C-alpha cells in the first residue's frame, strides 16, 4: 500500500457561539415555557396550559413527521396529507364506537386496548390508502410542484367526499373511554388525563422514530436520501421503494394523529385534517424541510404558543403561529434544522 503523507489532523473545537447556534432550536422550547410562566403568573394555569400545549404539539408532530420526510426524500409537496388525518379519525373513532363495552368500562386495560385497536385499524387503513394515493395520484407528477399541489388537493377533496358518503355529512361527537376522562390534580393544576397520555404517546413515537432513523440501515438510507437522493441511488439503493415505504408510514402516522386529535377534541369532521394542515405546514416549514427533530421542536412551539396566547390574549391566538413562523424564518430562513437545502 502506498503510504499517505504523515500528518496528524485534528478537528477544531466549535466556538461557544457556534455551539449555542447549533443548540438554539432545542433551547427554544424551555425558553418558551419559561416565558409562558413569567407571562401567565399563576403556576396552576401555567401548568395546565403547558401540558395542553405539549399534548397538542405532540399530536401535530405525529401528523407532520411523515410529511416532512416525504418532501425531503422525493421533493413531493403533498397537500392531500390532511385527508389521512380525517380518514384515520373516522376509522379509529368508528372502531371505538363499535366497542362500547370496552370503552364504557372503568378499566384502564380495557380502555387502552380499545384505543390501541382503534389506532391499529386506523393506521392500517390509512397506510393502505397512502400506498394507493402514491401510486395513483403522486407518482405521475414527480418533479412537477404545481401539478403536485393541484392533484393532491384534488385527492384531498375526493377522500373528504368519500368520508361524507360512508359516514354521512354530520360531525360525530364522542366520549373518551371511561378512564381517560376527567383530570388529575397536580400542584393545584387540573391536568386532563388524556392530554398526559397524548404527551407520553407522542414522546414515545418521536423516540421510536429517532431510534429507527439513527440506529438502523433503513433510517440511514432515509436520512441520506433526504440530503442527496441521487447519491444514495448511486450506492445501489432503490430510493423509490424507500420513498413508497416512507409515504405509507407517513400516511399511517397521519391516521394515528387523526385518532389522537379526534379523542382530544371529542368531535370529528371530514374537514378536520384539511384544517389541521395549516398548523402541520407551519411546523414542517419552521422545523426545516426533511427534519424530524425540527418538526418535533416546531410542533411543540406551535402547541405551546397557541395555548399560551389563547389564554393571555384570545384575539391574537389565530395569528400567533403565523407570527411564530415569521419570527423563525427571519432568524433562520430555511427553518430551524433544515436537512434539505433550498431546492
Partner 1 sequence: MSDDVLRIEGLHTDIAQYHILEGVDLSVPRGAVTMLLGRNGVGKTTTLRTIMGHWAAKSGSITYDGQDITAWPTPARARAGIGFVPEDMGIFTDLTVEENMVLAAASGPLDATRLETVFAAFPPLRTFWKSEAGNLSGGQKQMLSIARAMAEERKLYLIDEPTKGLAPAIVSTMAGALRELKRAGASILLVEQNFAVAKALGDHAAVMDDGRIVWTGAMAELAADAGLQERLMGLSMEVTG
**Three cell numbers, residue 315:** 384575539
Is 3 a binding residue for partner 1 by CB under 8 A? The answer is yes
Q: How far apart are CA 173 and CA 181, in angstroms?
A: 15
Name which of 261, 321, 302 is nearest 63 in CA terms: 261
Long-range contacts of 204-208 (CB under 8 A, 24+ apart): 205/58, 205/61, 205/62, 205/65, 205/253, 205/256, 206/58, 206/61, 206/65, 206/292, 206/296
Per CB under 8 A, the segment of 84-92, 101-109, 162-170, 226-234 that binds partner 1 is: 226-234
C-beta separation of 323 from 338 below 8 A: no
Whose grid coordinates read 389506532? Answer: 119
Is 16 a binding residue for partner 1 by CB under 8 A? The answer is no
Per CB under 8 A, the segment of 7-15, 54-62, 99-107, 260-268 that binds partner 1 is: 7-15
Give the residue, chosen from 183, 220, 312, 317, that forms a contact with partner 1 under the rule CB under 8 A. Answer: 220
Is 1 a binding residue for partner 1 by CB under 8 A? The answer is yes
**Residue 81 CB, nearest distance to partner 1 (Å)?**
24
23 vs 97 by CB, closer to partner 1: 23
Could you give phi then psi for residue 106, rounded to 5 degrees?
-80, 50
Give the residue, chosen from 238, 278, 313, 319, that forms a contact with partner 1 under the rule CB under 8 A. Answer: 238
**Residue 10 CB, nearest distance to partner 1 (Å)?**
8
198 vs 221 by CB, closer to partner 1: 221
Give the residue, chosen from 30, 41, 143, 236, that forms a contact with partner 1 under the rule CB under 8 A. Answer: 236
Q: How far apart are CA 97 and CA 101, in angstroms?
A: 9
Is 292 a binding residue for partner 1 by CB under 8 A? The answer is no
**Helix or strand or coil: residue 267?**
strand
Q: What is the DSSP string of 149-215?
A: HHHHHHHHHHHHHHHHHHH-SS-EE----GGGSSEEEETTEEEEHHHHHHHHHHHHHHHHHHHHHHH
Could you give phi then psi for residue 333, rounded to 5 degrees?
-60, -20
Contact map string, positions 167 to 206, toward partner 1, x by CB under 8 A: ----------------------------------------
164 vs 238 by CB, closer to partner 1: 238
115 vs 239 by CB, closer to partner 1: 239
Give the residue, chosen from 30, 143, 185, 230, that forms a contact with partner 1 under the rule CB under 8 A. Answer: 230
**Residue 220 CB, nearest distance to partner 1 (Å)?**
5
The residues that touch partner 1, with contacts defined as CB under 8 A, are: 1-5, 7-11, 217, 220-221, 223-224, 227-228, 230-239, 339
Amino acid at each position: 500500500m502506498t503510504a499517505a503523507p504523515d500528518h496528524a489532523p485534528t478537528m477544531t473545537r466549535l466556538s461557544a457561539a457556534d455551539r449555542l447556534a447549533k443548540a438554539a432550536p432545542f433551547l427554544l422550547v424551555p425558553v418558551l415555557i419559561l416565558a409562558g410562566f413569567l407571562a401567565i403568573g399563576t403556576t396552576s394555569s401555567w401548568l395546565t396550559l403547558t401540558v395542553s400545549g405539549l399534548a397538542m404539539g405532540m399530536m401535530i408532530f405525529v401528523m407532520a413527521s411523515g410529511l416532512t420526510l416525504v418532501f425531503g426524500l422525493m421533493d413531493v409537496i403533498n397537500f392531500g396529507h390532511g385527508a389521512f388525518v380525517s380518514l384515520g379519525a373516522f376509522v379509529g373513532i368508528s372502531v371505538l364506537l363499535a366497542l362500547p363495552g370496552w370503552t364504557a368500562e372503568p378499566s384502564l386495560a380495557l380502555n387502552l386496548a380499545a384505543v390501541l385497536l382503534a389506532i391499529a385499524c386506523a393506521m392500517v387503513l390509512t397506510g393502505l390508502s397512502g400506498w394507493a394515493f402514491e401510486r395513483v395520484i403522486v407518482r405521475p407528477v414527480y418533479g412537477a410542484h404545481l401539478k403536485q399541489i393541484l392533484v393532491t388537493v384534488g385527492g384531498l377533496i375526493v377522500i373528504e367526499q368519500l368520508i361524507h358518503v360512508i359516514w354521512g355529512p354530520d360531525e360525530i361527537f364522542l366520549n373518551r373511554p371511561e378512564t381517560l376522562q376527567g383530570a388529575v390534580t397536580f400542584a393545584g393544576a387540573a391536568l386532563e388525563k388524556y392530554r398526559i397520555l397524548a404527551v407520553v404517546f407522542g414522546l414515545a413515537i418521536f423516540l421510536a422514530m429517532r431510534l429507527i432513523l439513527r440506529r438502523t440501515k433503513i433510517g440511514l438510507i432515509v436520512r441520506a436520501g433526504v440530503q442527496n437522493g441521487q447519491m444514495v441511488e448511486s450506492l445501489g439503493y432503490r430510493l423509490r421503494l424507500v420513498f413508497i415505504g416512507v409515504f405509507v408510514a407517513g400516511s399511517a402516522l397521519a391516521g394515528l394523529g387523526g385518532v389522537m386529535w379526534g379523542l382530544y377534541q371529542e368531535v370529528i369532521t371530514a374537514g378536520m385534517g384539511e384544517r389541521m394542515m395549516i398548523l402541520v405546514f407551519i411546523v414542517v416549514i419552521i422545523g426545516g424541510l426533511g427534519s424530524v427533530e425540527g418538526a418535533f421542536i416546531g410542533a411543540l412551539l406551535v402547541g405551546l404558543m397557541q395555548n399560551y396566547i389563547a389564554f393571555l390574549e384570545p384575539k391574537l391566538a389565530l395569528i400567533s403561529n403565523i407570527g411564530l413562523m415569521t419570527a423563525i424564518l427571519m432568524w433562520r430562513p430555511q427553518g430551524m434544522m433544515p436537512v434539505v437545502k433550498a431546492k
